[in-house]
Amino acid sequence: MSSGQLHVTVRPACPQDAGLIRRWIWRERLDPTALKWPNFVVAVGEEGAVLGIAQMKRLGPRETPVRELGSLVVRPDVRGRGIGQALVRHLLQAHPAPIYLLCEGRNVSYYRQFGFREIEPEDMPSPLRRKWRLGHLFARLAGRRVAAMVWEEPGS
């Protein structure tokens, strides 16, 4: 892997990206439930290849949806070159706060750079709390920790 930022364009996913999205989610052992390609954005390199993906899920009722940033995956050979940052920043700009996410405890510091802060289960909206409980159970069995985080409007 070479160093330095890569120039990418972030665009909405299209039907042709659906298979790649499914493969990458399974490869990385991320939550494969409710995978809908229209929820995804993809980072495309100068040659047109997809270098990363991320999605904004909507949990809960339509009237009061909870937005969850998830499924952030960057192709292994280009990790550490700003692609994940471009995807996260794009989604934060495109969707209103609050935005929640669940991640492994080791990834908390990565998301802090964008202004996410860790929250306790009692501070989670109920649709996210249900999902966190299940993830927390499986993570504990594997000797890991699942953290819940929220991003709110800057300055709030």
Q: What is the dihedral of CA 146, 60, 92, 10, to 10 degrees?
A: 100
Q: What is the pLDDT along the chain (156 residues), one digit of tens a residue?
A: 456 888 999 999 999 999 999 999 999 988 887 789 999 999 999 999 999 999 999 988 777 889 999 999 999 999 999 999 999 999 999 999 999 999 999 999 999 999 999 999 899 998 888 888 888 777 777 878 889 999 997 655
156 lies in some domain:
no
What does the pLDDT read at residue 49? 96
What does the pLDDT read at residue 155? 56
3 lies in some domain:
no
What does the pLDDT read at residue 129? 87
106 lies in some domain:
yes
Domain count of the fold of the chain:
1
2 lies in some domain:
no
119 lies in some domain:
yes
57 lies in some domain:
yes
The tokens for 91 are 């989604």
Q: What are the strands of the beta sheet with 66-74, ordered from one edge?
A: 9-12, 40-44, 50-59, 66-74, 99-104, 146-151, 117-119
Residues 6+ apart with CB under 8 A from 119: 148, 149, 150
74 lies in some domain:
yes
Partners of 73 in beta bridges = 53
What does the pLDDT read at residue 1? 46
Domain around 93: 9-151
Q: Which of 89, 92, 102 is nearest to 147 (CA)?
A: 102
Cα end-to-end span (Å), the chain: 38
CATH code for the domain of 147:
3.40.630.30
60 lies in some domain:
yes
The tokens for 143 are 């000797």
